[in-house]
Amino acid sequence: MFTMLNQQIADLRRDYKLASLDESGVAAQPIAQFDKWWQEATHSDIAEPNAMTLATSTKSGKPSARIVLLKSYDAEGFMFFTNYESRKGHELAENPYVTLLFFWQELERQVRIEGVVSKATASISDQYYDSRPLGSRIGAIASPQSQVIADRALLEEQVHLLAEKYVLDVPKRPVYWGGYVVKPTAVEFWQGRSNRLHDRILYTQIGEGQWKIARLAP
């Protein structure tokens, strides 16, 4: 139990004043509103606007989170790629309900997406895997993601052996690696405002292609 507040940490704060967000001015569909903010994010000074937190949980509800990279989005959902046999892959198989979170500090914005995940088609996974740099393709084969390994040297040796193997050949996507699509059921757009009175606009799915828009208290 805490007995003393770390005042140096507690005093860290920033007032948000860049913009506002009103429900009368947002798009009718969350993907259209996301696209508007995405275009602004990609034309800003954000180093990796596609970096997003992926929160998963086990069947029993034990959560975990990590950063993954958005690789595509459309009306069907938000796509990322990973090792199906990683910790997150196992959790996604146990419990398909996930949350994605974008934090664009430079724009004082967050986007939180709740949804249900499913695997992308093999053709989409092949297409993306084949577009990656050779080193990344080899890395996906070499790494037993999330498993305990003795040391980095073993991993680097495996990469070296695979690099020699594929000097004249093209690596194919391993069956344990591919894409996921998160189909949203709720999307919240958060715009930082002064004195922590932030704007929060929530889209909640009420039917296929139908969304209810509401303002949340900060």
The residues carrying an active-site annotation are 196
What type of residue is 57?
A: S
Q: At what angle do helices 152-165 and 134-142 cross, to 10 degrees?
A: 130
Exposure letters 35-57 (e unless 16+ CB within 10 A, then b): eebbeebeeeebeebbebebbbb
CA pair distance 140, 80, nearest whole angstrom: 14
CA pair distance 176, 184, nearest whole angstrom: 25
Among 49, 18, 53, CA closest to 35: 49
Q: For the purposes of burial, counting CB atoms within 10 Å of the CB of 204, is it exposed (0-12), middle (13-18) or buried (19 or more)?
A: middle
